[in-house]
Every structure is written in structure tokens, then in C-alpha cells.
Amino acid sequence: MVMERSGLLLSRREAMALGASAAAAGAFGFDLVALAQASKGLMKRPIPHSGELLPVVGIGTARLYDFELSDQARLAERAQVLKLLTAGGGSLIDTAPRYGEAEVVLGKLFAMTRLRNQIFLATKVSVDDRDAQMKSMRNSLKDMGVSQVQLMQLHNPRKADQDIDSIRAFQKEGLCKYIGISSSFDRDYKAVEAVLRREKPDFFQIDYSLVDRNSQERLIPAAKDVGAAVLTNLPFRRGRVFAKVKGHKLPDWAVKELGATTWAQFALKWLLGHPGVTAVIPGTDKPKYMIDNLQAGRGIIPDAAMRKKMAAYFDAL
């Protein structure tokens, strides 16, 4: 038995799953057709050190998941976002202890949705002392109510001689599958590159967007050199991308040649067109944004010539 919606054929199991979400979906302003479309064809890319495939669109939790558990409306909204992420073929969620209550909120959301086993969960450690690092990493597991994470990252290293020995020890205990490094500050890029090249982690996370391309000069190439999967955060640079395009329509060629229907998809597809980028992790707090972002990981991804055209168009606005 199948159900047809807008030319998409769904299995009986898929139809039942989507049907169970339909009532909640309607409450958030989108329909079953959109949910079905989002569930098909999300691209995956290999993690270089293992070959495991990772969906190219995930969720960042900075600021947007920092709220009190008593806020039932926001909990319900974020729970629907997680359901849409997984229903749409995604799995990656990135967080950190420095994101306020985000880890605690995620723990609550996992309990509410029972989706933990479908999530590629990444968090970070940002203290320097080895004992403090181990304590912080264990506290992250406790706060999220999980026994392990898929990825543990050294957050914002500032010194070229910093190591990730504590994270490697954490990994040996079976408490994380992959190890990584993340950074968000241009001032630290020289030190970050030194740590990246010496430690050769499984993952490297960096801020990268149409309005902030500094990391593409040395850091993303360095990550590629050491075989690290690259996660890009702040793809909209906290709204600066949208501020620049406000009042401007997407060019016809972006719709026809890329299938991009929103500026968010335009920006995310540009990022995913970089050969060194594995996945993007836009901060996502609303169901409609989750569906929109997932669409960027479907269909055509721009090649080098198209990326140049996209950047030139954006810069000229």
C-alpha cells in the first residue's frame, strides 16, 4: 500500500509515520506535502577517516536552544524541529556547554521525542586543564542524558601548542566515536591551523558564510589536507546574509539551475558546493526553517563556476 502526494510515492511505513506527525505539523504552519518532500533525497557525504555517511544539513543550537525547561511552547516547537530533521533524512545536532542551557534542553527533547538513537550528536569542551576537561565532558553526557556522543570537539583553541589528549582519552573509554576541533574567532586562526595540522582530528568545525569567507583561505584547505570532515557553522552569520538580500528576489537562474527557492537555500547550497565542506549546521528553531534548510541538501549542488557566479551576485547586492 502506498500514498501519493505531489508525485512522491511513500511506503506504508512512511505514510504512517508522516500521518502521525500531520496534526502537529498543521499546528506549526506547514502541511504533510512539505513534510513528505523534505523526507526524500537528502544528500550524504563520507566522513573521511571512517567512510561513514553523514547527512549534509544539520542543526546548530547556540542561543536558540538556551531557555528554561519550563518554557513548554519552545520545547514543543524544538521537539517538532527534531522530528522534522530526522523525518527529512538528517541526523546531525551540534551543541556545547557554553551554549547556556542548550545541552539540558537537548536532553529533555531526546526524552520527549525518543529520537536520540537517530541523532549524530556533537558537543564540545572549552576548558584547558586536563581534569577540568574530563569533568566537563562527563557533565555534558549527564546534562543530555546520554551514555556517549558521536563527536567531541576542542572548542576555540587559542594556543598553537594545545592538544586534544583528553578527548582522545575520552574516546578510548568509548564515550565518543570521533574527535574534533572547532573555532569561531579570526584572531585565533593561526593557532587553530597549527593544532589542526598537528592533531589531525576526524572533524573540524568553523564559521563560514557568504558574508564571512576568511576560513576558506587556509583553514578549510588545512582540514582537507589532514582528512578532517568539515562542519560549517553560522551560515547566515546571525542574520547578516538575510539583511543583505532583504528586498531582493532570487535570480531566475538560481531557481532554474539550482532549484533554490529561498535565500536560505541559496546560501546553504553555496556552502555545500565547496569541495571541502561535509555538512552545514544552521541554527534552527522553527519547523518551517528546518524544512527550508533540508531542501538545500537536495537536488543540484553548485560547482566551482556556479559558486563564483553566486558569490558575485550576492556581493553586488
* Radius of gyration, alpha carbons of the chain: 19
Contacts of 76 (CB under 8 A, 6+ apart): none
- Give 10-residue mean pLDDT values along the chain (317 residues): 28 40 48 54 96 98 97 97 95 97 98 97 94 97 98 96 96 98 92 97 98 96 97 96 97 96 98 98 96 95 98 98
- pLDDT at position 38: 52
**C-alpha distance from residue 177 to each of 275, 277, 279 (Å):** 24, 20, 17
* 3-state SS assignment for residue 160: coil
- pLDDT at position 185: 85
Matching CATH number, 31-239+275-300, of 3.40.50.620, 3.20.20.100, 1.10.10.10, 3.40.630.30: 3.20.20.100
| DSSP notation for 187-213 | GGHHHHHHHHHHH--SEEEEE-BTTB-
- pLDDT at position 199: 98
Residue bearing cell 541559496: 266
Q: Is-above-0.95 flag for pTM?
A: no
